[in-house]
Amino acid sequence: MRAIKEGKGQENYSGLKNFAEQLGISLFGVADLGKVNQQLFELTPRAIKGLDSGISLGVRLSNRIIDDIEAWPTRLYFHHYRQVNNFLDQAALRITGLIQREGWEALPIPASQIIDWEKQRGHLSHKEVALGAGLGWIGRNNLLVNPDYGCRVRLVTILTNFPLQCDEPIDRDCGECKDCIAVCPAGAIKEKREEFDYLSCYERLSQFKKEGFVGQYICGICLKACGGNKGSTSTKTLRGLPR
C-alpha cells in the first residue's frame, strides 16, 4: 500500500481536490489517520478497518448570515446551517462514489449527526481530522479555526484507503486573540482551550432551543467573533496559493 501511495498519492490527491472544487467545496485536505486521535471516534472496528486516510472537506458560511447574529441564533442561520450540512453530505457521497468506482473503499461520515449532545460528539471529530489535514487549528471556542475564514466553516469527513498523499497540521494557534471569550453567552470559553466548558455550552444551546429561537442546538455567536488570522493567506484554500 505504501509503495502505491508514493506513486499515485499526489496524482489522486490533485484529482480529488479538483473534483471537490467543481462541487463547490471551499477547503480540502487529507489527514493520516494514524496521527489522529481515534479515541474521538464512535465507529465500529469493522467500519474503519483498513481505512488509513481521512479526507476533510469544508464549506465557507455566508458572512452576511453570520454577521446578522446578535445575542442568539437567527432562523436564517438555522436554515443556512442545515443546508450547508446537507450540501457537505451530498459532496461526500459524490466523492465516495468516485473513489468506489476506482475500486477503493470510502466511508462518508455525516456532517452533523450528533450522538452525544452534552459532550457534543458525533461519529468522529470532523475538526480533529481537519486539524490533521492542515485546514486550521482548534481554537479556544473548541471549533476549527481556518486562517482565512475563522470559524465560519462547516466540515465533513470521508475515511478511505484510496492512495492519497497526506497533509501536515499547520503550526498556529489563536495567539493573543480572545474575542470569542467575551461574547460567549454561556461563559463556556476559557483562556485555555482544554478548559472549554461543554456542559455550560450545551445548557445555553438547550435554552436557545427551548425559547424557540431555533429548532436545534446551535448558537453561532463565537463564529461571528472569530476572524482567524485576519488578513492572512492560507495555502490550504482551494482558490488560494499553490501548495
Domain boundaries defined on the chain: 2-176+186-225
Q: Are 41 and 181 in contact (CB under 8 A)?
A: no
Phi, psi of 237 (to 5 degrees): -75, 145
Return the pLDDT at 192.
Answer: 92
Return the pLDDT at 4.
Answer: 43
pTM of the model: 0.88
Residues making up the chain, counted from first to last: 243
Q: How far is residue 212's CA from residue 107's CA, in Å, rounded to a whole number?
A: 35
Return the pLDDT at 128.
Answer: 94
Q: Are 204 and 188 in contact (CB under 8 A)?
A: yes
Which ranges constitute the DSSP H helices of 45-110?
A: 45-48, 63-67, 75-101
Cell output for 68: 446578522
Cell output for 102: 476506482
Q: How far is residue 83's CA from residue 61's CA, in Å, rounded to a whole number?
A: 10
Q: How far is residue 221's CA from residue 70's CA, in Å, rounded to a whole number?
A: 7
* DSSP per residue, 138-169: E-TTSSEEBTTTBT-EEEEEEEE-S-------
Q: How far is residue 201's CA from residue 133's CA, in Å, rounded to a whole number?
A: 27
Q: How far is residue 28's CA from residue 223's CA, in Å, rounded to a whole number?
A: 20
Return the pLDDT at 140.
Answer: 94
Return the pLDDT at 241.
Answer: 28
Return the pLDDT at 14.
Answer: 94
- pLDDT tens string for the chain (243 positions)? 343 445 588 999 999 999 999 999 999 999 999 998 777 777 888 989 999 999 999 999 999 999 999 998 999 999 999 999 999 999 999 999 999 999 999 999 999 877 776 666 778 999 999 999 999 999 999 999 999 999 999 999 999 999 999 999 999 999 999 999 999 999 999 999 999 998 999 899 989 888 877 878 889 999 999 977 653 333 344 433 222
